[in-house]
Amino acid sequence: MHATEDLAEADRLMRICNACRYCEGLCAVFPAMEKRRSFAQGDLNYLANLCHQCGACYFDCQYAPPHEFAVNVPKTLSKVRSGSYGLYAWPRALAPLFERNGLAIALVAAFSVAAFIFGFAAWTDAGVLFSAHHGEGAFYRIMPHAAMAWLFGAAFLYAVVALVMGFRAFWADIGAGGTRPQGLSVWQAIRDAGRLRYLDGGGVGCMNEDEQPTDMRRHYHHATFYGFLACFASTLTATFFHYAFGWEAPYSWYSLPVVLGTLGGIGLVVGPLGLMRAKKTRDKTMTDTSRFGMDVAFLAMLFAIGATGLLLLFLRATPLMGTLLAVHLGFVFGFFLTMPYGKFVHGLYRFGALVRYAMEERQGYPVPAPKRRAA
């Protein structure tokens, strides 16, 4: 009846959970489930992307393994979620990139970094590449600003188009096709995503190693996410400075782009390291270990961008600047290219699921709301 074993298992679990409902206060997944009586593929993909993998329901569940019902919602929804990404990939021909994602991302990153190093070496005089530069426009003596802007602009534009197409496919699959996200629901989703409302186990914190709740994953995710945003904002302000005021990088330590970039870089180093550590210590029974590569590749990529960016900042006045610039730009370029084909999409689809959830909560869902059970 279902296309994959993971979907069939998720269907079996949601049937049990919908007859129990003890977890309805933990997160958004269970109230969303209660609005349904049967679970088609799109419903399951919706619930799977709504799940933040906090783990509270696994440790709270009286039917978790070794119980014969073997209810393991975090692990099952994690599998369904990873399986859903390929369905939405644009163009479809690139969907297989999700299959061996760790390898794919690593190859793209390696080629991208190599291309920048070779490109710099080919187009720039070795004397320029390996000497120290100072003052305005120092970076652009190695790579002209226009070339940088066009190349990264094009890569970013491609990523945006591919992500938008992916989102449209997701939105249609979860049964929301034809409905437009509403302003208030989008605002609600921004607030829920912004503070990771559903990564707190309903208030006590999420479970990671064992039944002790901890909030560390949420903190590290905040560091990563806001670090990423700060880096993005740094790039935007720098671009604005360049075109609006004609101020050329490198900027001083206390300028807005550098302050944002430094804070963001620290976030991108600390956050992914912390998330990586949490991933290693996480209770494996509630983890989909088969998708480890995808998660690690994404974290490693973010870490590499943050770390090389900080190094570039500290060593920009030394002869190492040219090489570091190549490596940093190589990682950023590789990241742009792979955004639509890696773990990055989890944020997009989870946000979409949160918007959908806010809409359902606001207007109800066209099924009769059944009674709750006492005990």
Partner 1 sequence: MPEPSELFSRSWDVLVAGGGNAALCAAIEAAWSGASVLVVEAAPKFYRGGNTRHTRNLRCAHDEANEVLTGPYPEEELWEDLLRVTGGETDEELARFTIARSKELWDYMNAQGVRFQPSIGGTLSLGRTNAFFLGGGRAMLNALYRRAGRLGVKVVYDAPLTGLEIEDGVFRSATVAHGGRDYRVKAKAFVGAAGGFEANIEWLKEAWGPEAENFLIRGTAYNRGAVLRLLLDAGVKSIGDPRQCHAVAIDARAPKFDGGISTRLDCVVFGIVVNRDGERFYDEGEDFWPKRYAIWGRLVAAQPDQIAYAIIDSRSIDRFMPSIFPPIEAGSLEELAAKLQLDAARLRATIETFNGAVKPGSFDPAALDDCRTEGLSPEKTHWARTISEPPYYAYPLRPGITFTYLGVRVDRNARMIMEGSAPSPNMFAAGEIMAGNVLGKGYLAGIGMTIGAVFGRVAGREAGQHARN
The footprint of partner 1 (CB under 8 A) covers: 15-16, 18-20, 22-26, 37, 56-57, 59-64, 66-69, 201-204, 211-212, 367-368, 370-375
State the number of CA atoms in the 13 A half-sphere of 32 facing the CB. 25
> Which residue lies nearer to partner 1 by CB, 22 or 247?
22
- Residues 167, 186 contacting (CB under 8 angstroms): no
The secondary structure of 250-293 as a DSSP string is: SPPTTSHHHHHHHHHHHHHHHHHHHHHHHHHHS-GGGS-GGGHH
Q: Which residue's CB is nearer to partner 1, number 18 or number 239? A: 18
Nearer to partner 1, 31 or 119 (CB): 31
Closest to partner 1 by CB, 63 vs 158, is 63
Q: What is the maximum alpha-carbon separation in the chain? A: 78
Cβ 375 to partner 1 shortest distance, Å = 4
If the CB atoms of residues 37 and 92 are measured against partner 1, the closer one turns out to be 37
Question: At closest approach, how far in Å is the CB of 277 from partner 1?
Answer: 23
- Counting every residue, how long is the chain? 375
Q: What are the contacts of 14-17 at 24+ separation with CB within 8 A?
A: 14/39, 14/44, 14/47, 15/39, 16/63, 16/69, 16/71, 17/71, 17/73
Residue closer to partner 1 by CB (options 29, 307) is 29
Whether cis (ω within 30° of 0) applies to the bond prior to 66 is yes
Triad 29, 296, 288: Cα angle to 5° = 45
Minimum distance of partner 1 from residue 155's CB (angstroms) = 45
Which residue, 285 or 290, has its beta carbon nearer to partner 1? 285
Supply the minimum distance, in Å, between the C-beta of residue 57 and partner 1. Answer: 7
Say if residue 125 is exposed, middle or buried (CB neighbours under 10 Å; 0-12, 13-18, 19+). exposed
Pick between residue 18 and residue 124 the one whose CB is nearest to partner 1: 18
By the 10 Å C-beta count (0-12 exposed, 13-18 middle, 19+ buried), 46 is classed as: buried
213 backbone dihedrals φ, ψ, rounded to 5°: -75, 145
Cβ neighbours of residue 334 closer than 8 Å, sequence gap 6 or more: 105, 108, 109, 111, 112, 113, 301
User: Residue 83 in contact with residue 4, Cβ under 8 Å?
Assistant: yes
Minimum distance from CB of 100 to partner 1 (Å)?
Answer: 36
